[in-house]
Amino acid sequence: MDEFLRASAVIDCDTLTVAAMAVQLAGGATTDEAVAKQCFDWVRDQVCHSTDHGISVVTCRASEVLEHRAGFCYAKSHLLVALLRANRIPAALCYQRLALNDEGTAFCLHGLVSVFLKDYGWYRIDPRGNKPGITADFCPPAECLAFAPRLPGETDIDGRYADPLLCVVAALQRWPTAGEVARNLPDYDPRHRE
């Protein structure tokens, strides 16, 4: 579990701002499940999804997401993982490959979080943010994710990652505006490891 508790360049849970927010969000919660829910709810509801809210800034590191209170699903997942790890709750990144259109001719990654809860084991949650037609929630042991793979080529990508996929970091660091990121969302063929 050590790899899912450590800080890294992107999951910078050891920065003062992230650590302080983690303590604040934990509040008086006494279980890992309650702390995880409070962190999830805050990131889902208080950190804006860049395209949903027309926010141009691109964030990647957890501390950047916290500073700007905005990011794509990947960046919001980076922040949630960092907040959980700062609270000593093992957390990992995970991904779905989803179609960009109803024909399934183009695909992109969608970022999620997997948190280890003592009563349930690894449990996937989606902090992207709710809007009409998209709802995600924290209700273990049932998963309530924003999206479910349904078209050929869509899939839940196997594995839990201590750090983001390289293609995700590259996309968030290459493009200077959220509009450009949205036009160049990363894709990943799960048959080939990075």
* pLDDT tens column, 132-159: 999 999 999 999 999 999 999 999 999 9
* pLDDT tens column, 16-56: 999 999 999 999 898 999 999 999 999 999 999 999 999 99
Query: For residue 102, what pLDDT band results from cuts at 50, 70 and 90?
Result: confident
Residue 57's alpha-carbon distances to 83, 123, 163, 175, in angstroms, are 21, 30, 22, 10
Query: Residue 130: is its pLDDT beyond 90?
Result: yes
At residue 191, the pLDDT reads 58
* pLDDT tens column, 85-99: 999 999 999 999 999
Query: Residue 128: is its pLDDT beyond 90?
Result: yes
Three-state secondary structure call for residue 174: helix
**The listed CATH number (3.10.620, 2.60.40, 3.30.70, 3.40.50) that belongs to domain 2-183:** 3.10.620
Task: Determine the Cα–Cα distance for residues 97 and 135; give it in Å rounded to an integer.
Answer: 18
Is residue 180 within a helix (H) or strand (E), and if so which, with residue range? helix 178-183
Nearest Cα neighbor of 85 from 43, 116, 131 is 116
* pLDDT tens column, 177-192: 999 999 999 998 765 5
Residues 39, 22 contacting (CB under 8 angstroms): yes
Q: What is the mean pLDDT of residues 107-129?
A: 97
